[in-house]
Amino acid sequence: MATEVISSKPVFSHPALALYGGTPIRTRFLPYGHQSIDESAIQAVVQVLRSDWITTGPKIAEFEEAIAAVVGARQAVVFSSGTAALHAAAFAADLEPGQEAITTPLTFCATANCMLYQGARPIFADVCPDTLLIDPCEVAQRITPRTKAILPVDYAGHPAALGEFMELANRHGLVIIEDATHALGATHKGRRVGSIAHMTVFSFHPVKHITTGEGGAVTTDNVQLAHRLRKFRNHGIDYDPQLRQHHGTWYYEMVELGYNYRLTDIGCALGLSQLRSLEANLARRRALADRYTAALADLPGLTPPVVHTDVEPAWHLYPVRLELAKLRVGREEIFRALRAENIGVNVHYIPVHLHPYYRARFGYRGGEYPVAEMAYEQLISLPMFPGMSDSDIEDVIEALRKVMSYYAR
């Protein structure tokens, strides 16, 4: 296969892309994300399965205390999913019909949906052109007497402008619910994400930094908020099942309308085991990000993520942007070509307001948030998970060179 040399590295000039019948870079598909489960995690789950409590038991508090300690918060409350945790945070913030909360359109739909669950309306604010994080200036322009909360998203694991949002909150009497589902272990000005906002939401989905299968958590320094969160996940009941058994009583009272959003002891045992590997997980993700960034420096047509100097990202994702003016095709063709090479790229995200439900309900037509919408047309997420080997990342880089060279203008 012919190659040409650019910056002393081989770049494919006219390869036979796998998309057109050529030999793929990899024989086995490399996903964009994947859980890492070792034998100690399996044994931790087995021990719980053999215990008296497989749900509503002692592992819940143990896991919550461990999460709070990791992020430096006074309280952590765990849930059955990150979406459930977002819903609970919206409830604890007293979001209700007639009120609004502001968030980014460049996020998974659950960030905005949690407001709808409470009858409130999501208001979107465009993102910054460099980081693709929600723009504090855009948010400030959308605050009205109906605004109750701001939900900044730590996109790809890069913390949002938390200091500016906390200042806005103090000035206007708002609640900051940080969607840090990408950002467990990230730091903002030397502080761990999870210890800054009024409430911070994490996800423990298998592609995240730790997993409980499905699961999530809210961290906070506010004891009253933590109490409301715990009631909400347990049908609005203000009495712990373990306490009922300990005191030998059947009596309980439902004091608010809640949901069954409980995380099991099985999941918490898995999460506790996973937490022991968090620092190694973060270190590997950062090493992978550094390798990608170095490789993209001499690869025309791709823009790497921007990182501010006062943060340390957690690198849940590594989203690159295509410089479409330098390519003969659009994002769809690049995506399909990389997938054909067995590189499991993905796209994060379709802007929330462009989903059919939001278009139909709120009348969005496209064009309302031009920075987020333009970024969406350019974005591709490269594989990023700690179980990736050095060979895996070199395969991704080789596939990028092969595909980008083929489609370059």
Which residue is catalytic, options 208, 231, 326, 402?
208
What's the whole-model pTM score? 0.94
Question: What pLDDT is attached to residue 246?
Answer: 67
Residue 348 CA neighbour count, 13 Å, CB half: 24
Query: Does residue 14 surpass a pLDDT of 90?
Result: no
* Overall fold of domain 39-275: Aspartate Aminotransferase; domain 2 (3.40.640)
- The C-alpha angle 67, 58, 56, rounded to 5 degrees, equals 100
Consecutive H or E run containing 321: strand 318-322
Round to whole Å and give the CA distance between 233 and 257: 10
Q: How far apart are CA 23 and CA 199, in angstroms?
A: 49
Residue pair 79/101 in contact by the 8 Å Cβ criterion: no
How far apart (Å, rounded) are the C-alpha atoms in residues 146 and 120? 10
**Average pLDDT value for residue range 306-317:** 98
Per CATH, the number for 3-30+278-345+383-407 is 3.90.1150.10
Question: How does residue 261 score in pLDDT terms, banded at 50, 70 and 90?
Answer: very high
Environment class of residue 137 by beta-carbon count within 10 Å: exposed (0-12), middle (13-18) or buried (19+)? exposed
Q: Of the ranges 79-93, 198-212, 243-257, which one carries the lowest mean pLDDT score?
A: 243-257
Question: What are the two backbone dihedrals, phi and then psi, of residue 37, each rounded to the nearest 5 degrees?
Answer: -120, 120
Q: How confident is the model at residue 369 (pLDDT cuts 50, 70, 90)?
A: very high
Strand partners of residue 134 = 127
pLDDT tens-digit readout, 330-343: 999 999 999 999 99
- 136-180: pLDDT as tens digits: 999 999 999 999 999 999 999 999 999 999 999 999 999 999 999
Using the 8-state DSSP alphabet, how is residue 368 labeled?
A: S
Give which of 21, 2, 19 is closest to 10, Cα–Cα.
2
What would the pLDDT profile of 46-79 be if each residue is shown by its tens digit? 999 999 999 999 999 999 999 999 999 999 999 9
Please answer whether residues 272 and 59 qualify as being in contact, where contact means their C-beta atoms are separated by less than 8 angstroms.
Answer: yes
Rounded to a whole number of angstroms, the CA Rg of the chain reads 22
Query: Which residues make Cβ contacts (< 8 Å) with residue 168, sequence separation at least 6?
Result: 136, 139, 140, 143, 150, 174
Active site residue 208: yes
- For 74, left (φ over 0), alpha (ψ -120 to 50), or beta? alpha
Query: Any alpha helices (H) in 57-176, and if so which ranges?
Result: 58-71, 82-92, 110-117, 136-141, 162-172
Residue 244 DSSP label: H
Pairing of β 175-179 and β 9-12: unpaired
Q: What residue ranges do the domains of the chain occupy?
A: 3-30+278-345+383-407, 39-275
